[in-house]
Amino acid sequence: MKTPTLPLTSARLAYRLNQQGDLEFLLDLHKRPDVVRFLPWGIQDEAGMKAKIDERVQEKTLAEDGDKLNFICLDKETGIRVGEVGLFLRSKEHQGGEIGYVMHPDHAGQGYAKEAARTMLALAFDFFGLNRVMARCDQRNKPSEGVMKALGMRHEATLIENWRDDDGSWSNELNYAILKREWDAQGRG
Ligand SMILES: CC(C)(COP(=O)(O)OP(=O)(O)OC[C@H]1O[C@@H](n2cnc3c(N)ncnc32)[C@H](O)[C@@H]1OP(=O)(O)O)[C@@H](O)C(=O)NCCC(=O)NCCS
């Protein structure tokens, strides 16, 4: 089993897997309407978040379809948690993955999501050897789409009325993707 050496690091951030001690931070993050507005799972209560962490502490690597690696992003200097980012194996056979990211509003707009998501692409392509990584968001989620664009990902699809809000209204889902050869051509591989 190929397991990345942790913590991962980038210019300003370190990335480690979830720990039980992250409960308070993750609850604070996922109770905020502005954070969960476009997330598929909505506001998390303590029991729900505990269950997520219990699952996540078992995560070790990406070996089978559906495997996930969820990282807490920390400021390297201060150790302050600034958000979370993840890499998910969608297809082992077709070497396809997906990334996701959530930054704490106290630390938004500083390029952290871009930096963290780029680190996930490096992990996907350079460590796990995936061929294709996608990301998706609600069409109204401009900051999230901005991250995908800033990473050089390509808009591949707009899925019409693929999301249903709590109020029953429909919204569209944007799918972006990048290939390993495109990542390599960016000179970041
Ligand atoms: C999406 C999110 C992670 C962005 O985090 P962030 O750390 O503020 O993003 P960054 O500072 O790294 O910005 C990255 C890019 O996004 C774009 N961007 C950021 N905020 C934006 C906004 N309000 N409108 C349009 N574009 C925006 C910028 O183009 C920026 O690239 P640039 O600096 O090269 O111009 C953050 O808003 C968040 O956690 N939202 C709630 C959770 C969520 O929706 N996650 C995504 C689920 S699909």
Over residues 65-82, the pLDDT tens digits come to 999 999 999 999 999 999
Confidence of residue 118 (pLDDT cuts 50, 70, 90): very high
pLDDT, average across residues 93-97: 97
CATH architecture of 8-185: 3-Layer(aba) Sandwich (3.40)
Q: Which atom of ligand 1 is nearest to the CA of 102?
A: 39
Reported as a single tens digit per residue, the pLDDT across 131-182 is 999 999 999 999 999 999 999 999 999 999 999 988 889 999 999 999 999 9
The one-letter code for the residue type at 60 is K
What residues flank ligand 1, with Cβ below 6 Å? Answer: 35, 38-39, 101-103, 108-114, 137, 141-144, 146-147, 150
Output the pLDDT for position 165: 86
pLDDT, average across residues 78-97: 98
Cα(142) to centroid of ligand 1, in Å?
Answer: 7
pTM score, whole prediction: 0.96
Spell out the domain ranges in the chain: 8-185
CA-proximal residue: ligand 1, atom 27 (nearest): 143
Reported as a single tens digit per residue, the pLDDT across 36-76 is 999 988 899 999 999 999 999 999 999 999 999 999 999 99
Output the pLDDT for position 188: 57
